[in-house]
Amino acid sequence: DGRPQAKHPTDDLVDFTRIHINKLPTVVIIGRPNVGKSALFNRLIRRREALVYNTPTDHVTRDIREGVAKLGNLRFKVLDSAGLEAEASSGSVLRRTAEMTGNVLSRSQLALFLVDARDGLQPMDLDVGKWLRKNAPGMKTIVVMNKAESLDDYDGSLASAVGEAYTLGFGDPIALSAETGLGMVELHETLRPLLEEYVLQNINDDESQENDSSEDMECKLPLQLAIVGRPNVGKSTLLNTILQEDRVLVGPEAGLTRDSIRAEFEYQGRTIYLVDTAGWLERTKQDKGPASLSIVQSRKHLMRAHIIALVLDAEEIAKARRSMKHVEVVIARRAVEEGRGLVVIVNKMDLLRGEENSKLYKRVIEAVPAEIQTVIPQVTGIPVVFVSALEGKGRIAVMRQVVETYEKWCLRLPTARLNRWLRKVMSRHSWKDQAAQPKIKYFTQVKARPPTFIAFMSGKTQLSETDLRFLTRSLKEDFDLGGIPVRILQRTVE
């Protein structure tokens, strides 16, 4: 299916685990005393270490704590500010505490403004709001109604608390409970785009620091390879050929490769892990019913591998009208959808020996690349290798393709180079009229493995699906990215 590649709303744009702690965005928790700031802080950092700064004020000792929060796939620095206390007489926020908290504000990109959902808004909350607006104008602030576990939709208590919190003027509030964990998913959903944007913006600022060493590093990580295919296509035999030793049990019975095989080997100075493939497609061997059960289970395995080598049987291709069985098509598509690199291996070529000039042989050689292109139109140039594992041939051919595909999968293109490329590509292409030309402010690669790009669009313009296809195709051609899924996403900038 030719699904457009920009439609991955659940895709993470940013891998927060790879960001250095000093570059993580900072979120400050703010609010009057007793709203549950510490409770939320503790939940966010879980059992991790917190740095504590002692900040003695006139009456009490207030701590400002700093820790690294983990919320789903998000990671950010979190600061638990000193509580902002109002002076009873003047109604203004206590100066000493406010100063401390002011320092904290200046180090943060985002504020979580906590209120107590059960108590309802207090005058002091309004003071905190005023203070925040004055001391951190323009700071993105999210009102968090804590202690919401006892409120519910039915008696209207939640709705009225939301309505009240809304009057603080910081946009839609979210309800959660730091104590029970209720609402943490909503917090995650709210924070994700904001934190991602911050990180992406910073990547762009760091453009000048880009160098080749970080690219090399990523590609030197061990390559995780999965060899998959229907029973009896010769996976175990191929594995032995690749490992060059008889470690895997090979037999004529379908589904003999039951046990987990996890091997590690070196190929041209590179470490390769063979990930478990046991049970992958074996369940479908009776060809009864849909393959979906094992496909669902295989998803987890697919995600463990960087490169998927899908093995097909040449003899079966020669016999059949279609070169790929349904389950093979599903696996190939799934591999690409999950962002894995794909290499197709046609095994048992020895069985067609002596027929090199025949129509049949020619059909096998031509059918597979053509068919894989048809069923996976979104990824062009998927490599196809023809081997005979039984004769011990194919190690080099297979591994060369696997490593090449992995290197493309890891590729990182510097932003400056990409934008030079973009200007060329845009001038090369002619749009029907000037107005139809998409206005891309800049173009950057946000991650590798697989290569993922973001087009920052100016104003309200959007890339159409045709534009996206055009850009994807150009990227693949100009940077030789055949065989790997390339994703382009778009963001609007003011």
One of 39, 68, 418, 426 touching ligand GDP (CB under 6 A): 39
Please state, as a whole number, how many other Cβ atoms lie within 10 Å of the Cβ of residue 65. Answer: 19
Q: How far apart are CA 129 and CA 174, in angstroms?
A: 16
Report the residue number, 148 or 272, with the smaller CB distance to ligand GDP: 148
Q: Does 35 bind ligand GDP (CB under 6 A)?
A: yes
Q: Does 252 bind ligand GDP (CB under 6 A)?
A: yes
Contact between 97 and 57 (Cβ < 8 Å): yes
One of 65, 77, 147, 340 touching ligand GDP (CB under 6 A): 147
The Cα angle at residue 262 between residues 302 and 274, in degrees rounded to 5: 55
Crossing angle between the packed helical segments 395-410 and 212-220, to the nearest 10 degrees = 140
Residues 6+ apart with CB under 8 A from 134: none
Q: Does 256 bind ligand GDP (CB under 6 A)?
A: yes
Sheet of strand 263-267: strand arrangement: 263-267, 270-274, 223-228, 307-313, 341-347, 384-386
Report the residue number, 32 or 476, with the smaller CB distance to ligand GDP: 32
Q: Does 233 bind ligand GDP (CB under 6 A)?
A: yes
Q: Does 37 bind ligand GDP (CB under 6 A)?
A: yes
Report the residue number, 144 or 330, with the smaller CB distance to ligand GDP: 144
Count of residues of this chain found to bind ligand GDP when the rule CB under 6 A is applied: 35
The residue range among 12-20, 225-233, 403-411, 424-432 that interacts with ligand GDP, by the rule CB under 6 A, is 225-233
Report the residue number, 38 or 437, with the smaller CB distance to ligand GDP: 38
To ligand GDP, the closest distance from the beta carbon of 270 in angstroms equals 24
Q: Does 438 bind ligand GDP (CB under 6 A)?
A: no
One of 4, 231, 279, 369 touching ligand GDP (CB under 6 A): 231
What mask of x and - would describe binding to ligand GDP in positions 321 to 350, judged by CB under 6 A? --------------------------xx-x
Contact between 76 and 27 (Cβ < 8 Å): yes
Concatenated DSSP letters for 181-221?
-TTHHHHHHHHHHHHHHHHHHHHHHGGGG--HHHHHHHHHS
Classify residue 484 as left (phi > 0), alpha (psi -120 to 50) or beta: beta
Rg (CA), the chain: 28
Contact between 412 and 418 (Cβ < 8 Å): no
Report the residue number, 64 or 178, with the smaller CB distance to ligand GDP: 178
Q: Six-digit token pair at 475?
A: 């990227």
Closest residue by Cα to residue 492 from 464, 471, 462, 452: 462
Closest residue by Cα to residue 281 from 225, 241, 328: 328
Residues 6+ apart with CB under 8 A from 142: 110, 111, 112, 113, 170, 171, 173, 174, 190, 191
Q: Does 351 bind ligand GDP (CB under 6 A)?
A: yes
Please report, as residue ranges, which positions from 443 to 482 form the binding site for ligand GDP (by CB under 6 A): none
What mask of x and - would describe binding to ligand GDP in positions 373 to 412, judged by CB under 6 A? ---------------xxx----------------------
Q: Does 177 bind ligand GDP (CB under 6 A)?
A: yes
Please report, as residue ranges, which positions from 84 to 143 form the binding site for ligand GDP (by CB under 6 A): none
Q: Does 218 bind ligand GDP (CB under 6 A)?
A: no
Q: Does 38 bind ligand GDP (CB under 6 A)?
A: yes
Report the residue number, 229 or 450, with the smaller CB distance to ligand GDP: 229
The structure tokens 């470490």 sit at: 271
3-state helix, strand, coil in the chain (%, to 5): 40, 20, 40
Binding site for ligand GDP (CB under 6 A): 31, 33-39, 83, 146-147, 149, 177-179, 229, 231-237, 250-252, 256-257, 347-348, 350-351, 388-390
